[in-house]
Amino acid sequence: MSEPVQRILYCHCAYAQVVPKDVKEEVLRRLAASGVAFDAVADLCELSAKGDPSLARLAGEGNVKIAACYPRAVKWLFSAAGVTLPEQGVEILNMRTEPAEQVVYAILGQGFAMAAAAPKEAL
């Protein structure tokens, strides 16, 4: 049986603006440069408030890494939208407290993180 495909959810925190701008922009830049598929949302708080069905889809699939803010806040946002995140297979990365390099490494692993950090001229 094959491992389910890992999903990546990136929150740009556009409205509350509690994530440092330099961190979220660097994480987004490196994710885009990696060539790995990911879902980017303008604001997870907004999706929660609207009860967006994509939250249920992401949670139901499991094996997801979420780059956002405090794990307790992210869990609460899913819960407020009527969605329970599974106990296993979900990793929440805190861009409020962690440097961009650490978040990218946790999402992509060493090889991708290093390649995404390299200047385009070096690639």
* pLDDT tens column, 54-104: 999 888 877 899 999 999 999 999 999 999 998 889 999 999 999 999 999
pLDDT at 112: 58
Indicate the pLDDT class of residue 4, thresholds 50, 70 and 90.
low
pLDDT at 78: 95
Q: Residue ranges per domain, the chain? A: 7-122
Q: What is the CATH number of domain 7-122?
A: 3.40.50
Question: Residue 119 pLDDT more than 70?
Answer: no
**CA-CA distance, 11 to 14, in Å (whole number)?**
8
- The whole-number average pLDDT for the span 31-43 is 94
**Strands (E) located in 2-116:** 7-11, 39-41, 64-68, 90-94
Closest-CA residue to 11 (of 71, 57, 88, 101)? 71
Q: What is the pTM of this model?
A: 0.85
Chain mean pLDDT for the chain: 87
